[in-house]
Amino acid sequence: MPTSKPPSTFISDLKPSRVATVEATVTKVDSIREVEQRLGGTTRVRNVLLNDGTGEIVLVLWGKDVELVAEGQKVRVMDGWVKDYRGRPQISLGRSGKLEKLAPPA
């Protein structure tokens, strides 16, 4: 039985304050940095640039997720939260999003 997958949105069509699913290639991985949390303590964060051929968007990874991707990898962000950050859209996994590594085309 074939598995179903959520419909994907092109990066060029993403709008802030919406949940979206995108498939893209990781084109740049920034270094991990430590940031202060609002309720005290620190956590790790990393920005990753995604490109799907229609555009680019920054994926922000938090905590244990910072280790999940490498440059050149194809990924699917399912139910990611798109927001406006300094005038540009960016996406994160938010509370319910998931990141899936996709197999390279055969």
Residue 1 lies in a domain: no
Which residues face 74 on adjacent strands?
Answer: 25, 102
The pTM of the full predicted model, rounded to 2 decimals, is: 0.88
Given this model, what pLDDT does residue 85 score?
92
Residue 6 lies in a domain: no
* DSSP, res 53: S
Distance CA 57, CA 19 (A): 14
Residue 21 lies in a domain: yes
Number of folded domains in the chain? 1
Whichever domain contains 23, its CATH number is: 2.40.50.140
Residue 4 lies in a domain: no
Instruction: Summarize pLDDT for 49-103 with one digit per residue, the tens.
Output: 999 999 999 999 999 999 999 999 999 999 999 999 999 899 999 888 999 999 8
**Structural domain that includes position 37:** 11-102
Residue 3 lies in a domain: no
Q: Examine the pLDDT at 4 and tell me if it is beyond 80.
A: no
Instruction: Summarize pLDDT for 5-49 with one digit per residue, the tens.
Output: 667 899 999 999 999 999 999 999 999 999 998 888 999 999 999
